[in-house]
């Protein structure tokens, strides 16, 4: 039998946990895994291009991530960041690790040599045997911006990291996204997969920008099967501040509200199947009554084994 083809749409940390589990689940039988990664969090800082979600997934799959802190490289130091602060360069509240800066410098150099983001992702992914193909959602720079209550506009990273998402967000925008196109291979990865999974990532600022790239929603409509995994467990975001993002777009922080936000394919939405946590089992009958194929599974990705079990459940017909 040919290798099973799975394509995952993902943000950073939640996406990385899921993809690590998926790779482990399919290790023995052979698999063709493509991860389409959000690039809305990307930014220019001190002359280098950062791609936080791509790097979170890359580091986690390579096993060089800082699992305790939840982001960045293990064994990191911050000498360069301290020096930048002395110069008054960059953002004093945004620390860049030295090893991480090595990635950003390599990436920026390749971009300046004329490589596309897709080509850069391929180079980054070739350093370690990560076992999946990493694709940016688009080769166009379409950073996520947040419009807050007083009308001012911040880069997503400033709102999230500096202000800890406490400034009330009114809306999220990706300027220029209407003119963007999916990166080469993205549409084919979606339409050619046996199953496409919307990872348990932030629905608004991780999955949202991916779905906003013209052509990606249409490709999902042509996909063989689309499954979503709830990032909300027991009415709470597992970690982080995704509830502030959901509130801004008028979606309640609950597994069923996020399902309805994505919509079921039978009603013109995206999903064929939606996985909710055991803690949210009480929400399943309501969704089922609306025609949803809703499944109750353990959704905590607290270790590799649990992540693999979840990934297996997600791709099983
Ligand atoms: P980010 O880009 O680093 O913020 O990461 P993502 O967008 O990929 O994922 C963030 C979301 O992952 C959080 O809002 C959580 O709701 C979700 N998440 C994190 N850990 C888990 C987990 O163990 N299980 C589930 N179901 N969701 C999780
Ligand atoms: Ca992110």
Domain 5-142+175-315 CATH superfamily:
CofD-like domains (3.40.50.10680)
Contact residues of ligand 1, CB 6 A cut-off: 10-15, 17, 53, 56, 200-202, 206, 229-231, 233, 237-240, 242, 299-301
CA-closest residue to ligand 1 atom 1? 12
Residue in 41, 134, 230, 240 to alter for ligand 1 test, most ligand atoms within 8 A of Cβ: 240
Closest ligand 1 atom to Cα of 233: 26
Ligand that lies nearest to the alpha carbon of residue 201, given by its number in the listed order: 1
Nearest ligand, CA 240? 1
pLDDT attached to residue 55: 98
pLDDT at res. 234:
97
Write the pLDDT tens digit of every residue in 109-159. Answer: 999 999 999 999 999 999 999 999 999 999 999 999 999 999 999 999 999
Query: Which residue's alpha carbon is nearest to atom 27 within ligand 1?
Result: 231
Tens digit of each residue's pLDDT (9 = 90 or more) over 70-95: 889 999 999 999 999 999 999 999 98
Q: Is 131 left (phi over 0), alpha (psi -120 to 50) or beta?
A: left
Helix/strand/coil percentages in the chain, nearest 5: 40, 20, 40
> Is residue 209 within 8 Å of residue 183, measured between CB atoms?
no
Which listed ligand is nearest to 43 at the C-alpha?
2
| pLDDT (0 to 100) of residue 69 | 87
Q: Mind listing the pLDDT tens digit for each residue in 253-281?
A: 999 999 999 999 999 999 999 999 999 99
pLDDT category of residue 1 using cuts at 50, 70 and 90:
low
Question: What predicted TM-score, i.e. pTM, was given to this entire model?
Answer: 0.97
Nearest Cα to Cα of residue 51 among 4, 117, 2? 117
Residue with tokens 């166009």: 140
CA 195 to CA 180: how far, in whole Å?
Answer: 25
Ligand 2 centroid distance, CA of 28 (Å): 30
Domain definitions of the chain by residue range: 5-142+175-315
Helix (H, G, I), strand (E, B) or coil at 310: helix
């Amino acid at each position: 039998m040919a290798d099973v083809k799975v394509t995952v749409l993902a943000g950073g940390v939640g996406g990385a946990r899921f993809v690590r589990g998926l790779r482990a689940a399919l290790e023995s039988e052979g698999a063709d895994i493509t991860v389409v990664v959000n690039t809305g969090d990307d930014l220019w800082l001190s002359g280098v291009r950062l791609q936080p979600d791509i790097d979170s997934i890359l580091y986690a799959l390579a096993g060089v991530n800082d699992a305790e802190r939840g982001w960045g490289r293990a064994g990191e130091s911050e000498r360069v960041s301290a020096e930048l602060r002395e110069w008054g360069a960059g953002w004093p509240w945004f620390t860049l690790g030295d090893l991480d800066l090595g990635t950003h410098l390599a990436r920026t150099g390749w971009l300046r040599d004329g490589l596309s983001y897709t080509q850069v992702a391929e180079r980054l992914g070739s350093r370690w045997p990560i076992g999946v193909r990493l694709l940016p959602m688009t080769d166009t720079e379409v950073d996520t911006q947040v419009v807050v209550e007083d009308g001012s506009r911040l880069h997503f990273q400033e709102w999230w990291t500096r202000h800890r998402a406490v400034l009330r967000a009114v809306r999220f925008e990706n300027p220029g996204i209407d003119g963007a196109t999916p990166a080469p291979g993205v549409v084919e990865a979606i339409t050619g997969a046996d199953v496409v999974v919307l990872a348990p990532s932030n629905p608004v600022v991780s999955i949202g920008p991916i779905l906003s790239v013209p052509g990606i929603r249409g490709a999902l409509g042509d996909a063989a099967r689309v499954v979503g995994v709830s990032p909300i467990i027991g009415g709470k975001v597992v970690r982080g501040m995704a509830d502030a993002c959901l509130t801004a777009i008028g979606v309640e922080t609950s597994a069923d509200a996020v399902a309805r936000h994505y919509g079921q394919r039978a009603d013109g939405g995206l999903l064929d199947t939606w996985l909710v946590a055991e803690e949210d089992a009480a929400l399943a009958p309501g969704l089922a009554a609306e025609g949803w194929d809703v499944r109750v599974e353990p959704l905590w990705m607290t270790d590799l084994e649990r992540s693999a079990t979840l990934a297996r459940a997600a791709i099983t017909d």
